[in-house]
């Protein structure tokens, strides 16, 4: 497939005189392959998705959302796409090889200022949430339903998925959706999907993007933060002190994402290091009292 896409370069790299060459395999998700390509005058990233589309992913929606984000200056420019085959070619951003990090994460550089890193992340989230909202809306309840549905019967989670679903769904309903419930959300804005270049953050891998609750995006990002920085992210995002209701919903959505992450890894990649970390995070929340305000 890589040779096929490179051989088709006149469609997406008309200034080149020969087919681009493969430079390296880039770090990416456990299901997608990302390949760095180089031509005479430019470099690109070729993303090849699995033949089976994961639940909640729409390649055509991904394209349109990513394109809007690129026009807003927060995502790499798309130069070629094939929705049916999950092919996406974007311009290469220097840090897509993973040399730099937004900070405050396990791979963060020690000299990175935590306050500045959180502020940059909050700013990226606000810019994402200001983009046009797609017709498709994914609520936190929908995320939960998918997590339960794709878990195999022989999962090793230390909890009944149905019981956790009922508790979290009830807590979310009682917390209310608030006035923030319909923005564009990335839904997978982990550190692996963020790139920092000269102090500016960009987002990649928009395949799960949809309309939804922006606090869910915050919960995803908070899952990688040190505990003392979690509330700081919420405050920087809101640019004010959060209300008690906002803090409660944020807490519930952090628990929701912990369950979703543990379920996803148990279903699709149970042997990886991230799977064990997600399971331990879920256990810690259970031990503290799951669905606590």
pLDDT tens sequence across 152-173: 888 888 888 999 999 999 998 8
Q: Which of 55, 65, 16, 51 is nearest to 37 (CA)?
A: 16
- Per DSSP, the residues of 46-85 read EEE--SSPPTT--HHHHHHHHHHHHHTTSSPPEEEEETTT
Structural domains in the chain, sorted by start: 2-97 (3.30.200.20), 114-289 (3.90.1200.10)
Please name the residues in contact with 207: beta carbons below 8 A apart, sequence gap of 6 or more.
32, 49, 54, 57, 59, 62, 188
For the ranges 129-133, 227-231, 241-245, 266-270, which has the lowest average pLDDT? Answer: 266-270
Average pLDDT over every residue of 275-283: 90
CA distance 71 to 95: 19
Check residue 292 and give its pLDDT. Answer: 63
3 state SS of 26: strand
Average pLDDT over every residue of 71-78: 97
3 state SS of 87: strand
Biggest CA pair distance of the chain: 62
| Of residues 209 and 57, more confidently modeled | 209
27 has a pLDDT exceeding 70: no
Q: What is the CA radius of gyration of the chain?
A: 19
Check residue 272 and give its pLDDT. Answer: 85
Indicate left, alpha or beta for 191 from its phi (over 0: left) and psi (-120 to 50: alpha). alpha
**What tokens were used for 72?**
């807003």
pLDDT tens sequence across 82-101: 998 899 999 999 865 444 44
CA distance 154 to 270: 11
Place of tokens 């087919």: 19
224 has a pLDDT exceeding 50: yes
- What is the value of pTM for the model shown? 0.91
Check residue 130 and give its pLDDT. Answer: 96
């Amino acid at each position: 497939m890589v040779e096929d896409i490179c051989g088709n370069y006149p469609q997406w790299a008309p200034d080149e005189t020969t087919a681009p060459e493969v430079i390296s395999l880039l770090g990416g998700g456990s299901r997608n392959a990302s390949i760095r390509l180089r031509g005479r005058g430019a470099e690109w990233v070729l993303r090849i998705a699995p033949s089976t589309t994961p639940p909640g992913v729409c390649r055509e929606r991904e394209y349109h959302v990513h394109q809007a984000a690129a026009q807003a200056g927060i995502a790499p420019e798309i130069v070629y796409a094939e929705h049916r085959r999950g092919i996406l070619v974007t311009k290469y951003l220097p840090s897509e090889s993973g040399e730099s990090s937004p900070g405050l994460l396990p791979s963060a550089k020690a000299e990175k200022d935590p306050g500045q890193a959180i502020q940059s992340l909050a700013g990226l989230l606000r810019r994402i949430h200001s983009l046009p909202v797609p017709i498709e809306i994914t609520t936190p309840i929908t995320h939960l339903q998918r997590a339960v549905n794709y878990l195999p019967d022989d999962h090793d989670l230390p909890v009944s998925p149905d019981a956790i679903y009922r508790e979290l769904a009830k807590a979310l309903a009682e917390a209310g959706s608030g006035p923030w419930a319909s923005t564009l959300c990335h839904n997978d804005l982990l550190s692996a999907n963020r790139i920092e270049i000269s102090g500016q953050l960009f987002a990649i891998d928009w395949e799960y993007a949809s309309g939804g609750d922006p606090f869910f995006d915050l919960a995803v990002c908070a899952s990688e933060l040190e505990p003392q920085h979690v509330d700081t992210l919420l405050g920087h995002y809101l640019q004010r002190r959060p209300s008690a209701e906002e803090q409660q919903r944020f807490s519930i959505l952090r628990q929701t994402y912990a369950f979703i992450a543990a379920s996803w890894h148990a279903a699709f990649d149970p042997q990886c290091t991230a799977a064990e970390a997600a399971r331990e995070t879920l256990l810690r929340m259970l031990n503290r009292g799951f669905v606590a305000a």
